[in-house]
Amino acid sequence: MSDQSTAITAEHFRYIAAHTTPEDDFLRALKRAATAAGIPSIWIAPEQASFMQILLRASAAHDVVEVGTLAGYSAIAMARALPASGKVRTIELDPARVAFAREWVARSDVAGKVEVIEGAGMDVLEGFAADSADAAFLDADKASYPLYLEECLRIVKRGGLILADNAFAFGQLFDASPTDREVPAIRAFNERIAKTERLDGVIVPIGDGLWVGVKR
Ligand SMILES: C[S@@+](CC[C@H](N)C(=O)[O-])C[C@H]1O[C@@H](n2cnc3c(N)ncnc32)[C@H](O)[C@@H]1O
């Protein structure tokens, strides 16, 4: 058998999106309201949400930690993949986004399963107990990812999932002169995480590239 692979193109991304369980009316309405409230549309893609739900269900995750709530889209999507007693603790720096996410979580079908915590990612993560989560999703300031990773390796149980978004650096991973200032931090994180012996990992070409690791 050869190590055959297919180069992923924009056409493949469109195809994947068109052949994935679609998002529901509630999440579509959340996105419309967020845009109307001036919140940037930097939430994960629906097909990435579906994939993360599958990972959480397959690993029987109960407790999830997220850094970067924005409008609550990914937190609500992840909470839907947890059992009734499961919980997502999601951290957001921006008070207006915290207020928006809390309002939409309260209206959602997972109201009791999502806690939106206002604060800086590191400050809040430091207060979480060791081995208190089955999965973590990093989706905030990229320069802090190495610090978040260290904290999540403490917080997430052995065998748990550590997911990190934007491995493809907003589409600018291979640009000689990227316009986004976070691109160098993402490149450095991709290098670092691939060498982390405490994780088994892979970059999945979905959304803007999702790094999926399992704590050894
Ligand atoms: C890409 S958005 C998160 C999208 C969200 N996970 C989703 O898919 O629905 C990143 C969020 O991280 C927040 N953020 C940035 N720096 C942060 C920090 N140091 N601590 C907590 N949140 C932070 C930003 O305000 C922004 O709302």
Q: Which domain holds residue 61?
A: 10-215
User: Does the C-beta of 43 come closer than 6 Å to ligand 1?
Assistant: yes
CA separation for the pair 149, 69 (Å, rounded): 17
Q: To test the ligand 1 pocket, which listed residue (92, 126, 181, 186) has its Cβ within 8 A of the most ligand atoms?
A: 92
Say which CATH number the domain at 182 has. 3.40.50.150
% of the chain at pLDDT higher than 90: 94
Number of domains in the chain: 1
Q: How far away, in angstroms, is 6 Cα from ligand 1 center? A: 32
pTM over 0.75: yes
* Residue 107 within any structural domain of the chain: yes
CA separation for the pair 62, 17 (Å, rounded): 27
Q: What is the pLDDT of residue 1?
A: 47
Low-confidence ranges of the chain (pLDDT < 70): 1-2
Backbone torsion region of residue 61, taken as left when φ is above 0, otherwise alpha when ψ lies between -120 and 50, otherwise beta: beta
3-state secondary structure of 23: coil
Q: What is the pLDDT of residue 2?
A: 61
Contact residues for 170 (Cβ-Cβ < 8 A; gap 6+): 180, 182, 183, 208
Q: What is the pLDDT of residue 52?
A: 98
Q: What is the pLDDT of residue 3?
A: 83
* Residue 150 within any structural domain of the chain: yes
The string of pLDDT tens digits covering residues 130-177 is 999 999 999 999 999 999 999 999 999 999 999 999 999 999 999 999
Backbone torsion region of residue 43, taken as left when φ is above 0, otherwise alpha when ψ lies between -120 and 50, otherwise beta: beta
